[in-house]
Amino acid sequence: MNTANDSIEQIIREYIAKDFLDGARADFDPDTSLLETGLIDSIGLFRLLAFLEERFRVRIPDEDLMAENFQTLGHIVRYIRGRVSA
């Protein structure tokens, strides 16, 4: 990944670690399913979406709320990168 993508990933990773993991396990794999493993629950997903919209100044339309965009950290980074560059 390039530096901008690394920065996006690091920001999101740190948010997840701080808000959902009490600062622990920030080294989770970017391909780990956040919901299936219980790292984030369904309510937490809405908190994450609000964070992403505020932090990266993007709007996430309802039609984009699908697993392909938010299932893993890697999916989220790719989605946000696409929204930021659009």
Model confidence at 67, pLDDT cuts 50, 70, 90, reads confident
Average pLDDT, the chain: 88
| pTM for this model (two decimals) | 0.86
Model confidence at 49, pLDDT cuts 50, 70, 90, reads very high
57 Cβ contact list (under 8 Å, min separation 6): none
Mean pLDDT score, 26-40: 86
Domains and CATH numbers, the chain: 3-85 (1.10.1200.10)
Q: Inform me whether the pLDDT recorded for 23 exceeds 80.
A: no
Return the number of other C-beta atoms located less than 10 Å from residue 41's C-beta: 12
What pLDDT does residue 4 have?
60
